[in-house]
Chain A
Amino acid sequence: MKFYLALWFAKLMGIAIKLVSRGRGTNLPGEKALSIDPSFVKHFKNIDYSKVVFITGTNGKSSTTNLVTHILKENGKKIVSNLEGANLLSGIATILAKEASLTGKLKADYYIFETDERYLPLIYAQLPAENMLITNLQKDQVQRNGDPDFIIRKLKEVINPKMTLILNNEEPRSRFFEEIARRSIYYSVSRHDESFTKGNDYPTQACPKCHHDMSFDYYNVDSIGAFHCEHCGFASKTNPEYEVTDINFSDRTFKLKGVVFHMPYDLPFMFYNYAGALAVCEEICGIVPVAAAKAFENFKNIGGRFEVLKYNNKTIKYMRIKQENPDTLQSALNIMASDSNEKMVALGLYVVNDFVPHYINTFYAFDCDFKPLIDSNVEKYLCFSEHVSYDTANRLIYEGVSKDDITIMDSDDIKEIFAEIDRAETDNIYLITWISTFEKMKKFIEGGQN
Chain B
Amino acid sequence: MTQLIKIGWLFPNMFNLHGDRGNILAIKAEAQRRGYAVEIEQINLDSEAFNPMDFDFLFCPPGEMEHFKPVVEFLEHHKDELIAYIEEHPMLVTGTTVSLFGKLIHRDDNSTIEGLGILSLETTENHSVYGDDIYYSCQYNGKEMEIIGSQIQMMDLEINEESPFGRLKYGYGNTGKTKYEGAISGKGIFTNTLGPILVCNPWLTEEIINLIEVNKGWTAFEAHRDNSLELMSLKTKTALIEKKETRLVKLSER
Contact = CB atoms under 8 A, between A and B. Distances in A.
Interface of A: 139, 142-150, 152, 200-206, 211-214, 231, 326, 351-352, 356-367, 386-391, 393-394, 397-398, 403, 408, 410
Given A213-B45, A363-B19, A363-B150, A205 B65 contact: no
A410 B232 contact: yes
A308 B13 CA distance: 37
A239 to B, nearest CB: 27
Given A149-B64, A149-B66, A142 B17 contact: yes
Nearest to B26: A398
Interface string B36-67: 00001010111000000000000000011111
A213 B239 contact: no
Contacts of B131: 142-144, 352, 357, 359, 361
Interface string B1-35: 00000000000111011111110111001000000
Interface in B90-117: 96
A390 B199 contact: no
A364 B18 contact: yes
Q: Which of A139, A149, A360, A364 has the most CB of B within 10 A?
A: A360
Nearest to A200: B42
Interface of B: 12-14, 16-22, 24-26, 29, 40, 42, 44-46, 63-67, 70, 96, 129-133, 150, 152, 154, 194-196, 199-200, 229-230, 232-233, 236-237, 239-240, 244-248
Nearest to B248: A357
Contacts of A326: 19
B21 A202 contact: yes
B129 A211 contact: no
A366 B67 contact: no
Contact of B233 (A211, A212, A351, A390): A390
Given A211-B45, A361-B131, A147 B19 contact: no
B67 A363 contact: no
A367 B19 contact: yes
B22 A143 contact: no
Given A143-B131, A394-B233, A366 B64 contact: no
A390 B150 CA distance: 15
A205 B16 contact: yes
A357 B18 contact: no
Contacts of A212: 44-46
A211 B237 CA distance: 37
Contacts of A144: 129, 131
Nearest to B134: A359
11 contacts: A143-B130, A143-B131, A213-B44, A357-B133, A357-B244, A357-B247, A363-B22, A366-B20, A366-B199, A367-B16, A394-B229
Contacts of B45: 211-213, 231
A206 B67 contact: yes
A146 B152 contact: yes
Given A203-B13, A205-B13, A363 B24 contact: no
A139 B233 CA distance: 25
**Interface residues of chain B: helix, strand, loop or mixed (majority):** mixed
Contacts of B12: 203
Given A150-B154, A391-B199, 8 more contacts: A152-B66, A201-B40, A204-B16, A357-B133, A366-B22, A390-B233, A398-B22, A410-B236
Contacts of B229: 390, 393-394, 397, 403, 408
Nearest to A363: B19
Nearest to B170: A357
A6 B236 CA distance: 48
Given A143-B152, A211-B14, A390 B236 contact: yes
Contacts of A146: 129, 152, 154
A147 B17 contact: yes
Contacts of B40: 201
A56 B248 CA distance: 32
B9 to A, nearest CB: 9
A363 B44 contact: no
B247 A356 contact: yes
B182 to A, nearest CB: 17
A211 to B, nearest CB: 5
Contact of A358 (B19, B42, B240): B240
A142 B194 CA distance: 12
Contacts of A387: 236-237, 239-240
Contacts of B42: 200
B168 to A, nearest CB: 14
A247 B40 CA distance: 38
Contacts of B230: 390, 394
A370 to B, nearest CB: 11
A213 B14 contact: yes
B25 A366 contact: yes
Contacts of B64: 147-149, 206
B247 A201 contact: no
A349 to B, nearest CB: 12
B27 to A, nearest CB: 12
A214 B199 contact: no
A394 B199 contact: yes
Q: Which of B16, B196, B233, B239 has the most CB of A within 10 A?
A: B233
A104 to B, nearest CB: 34
A231 B196 CA distance: 30
Contacts of B232: 390, 410
Contact of B21 (A203, A213, A397, A408): A203
A318 B217 CA distance: 53
A352 B14 CA distance: 26
Q: Which of A143, A145, A403, A408 has the most CB of B within 10 A?
A: A143
A203 B16 contact: yes
Contact of B19 (A148, A213, A364): A364
Contact of A366 (B21, B29, B70, B248): B21
A150 B129 contact: yes
B200 A391 contact: yes
Contacts of B22: 363, 366, 398
Contacts of B44: 212-213
Contacts of B63: 147, 206
A361 B150 contact: yes
Contacts of A147: 17, 63-64, 96, 154
A200 B21 CA distance: 11
Contacts of A361: 131, 150
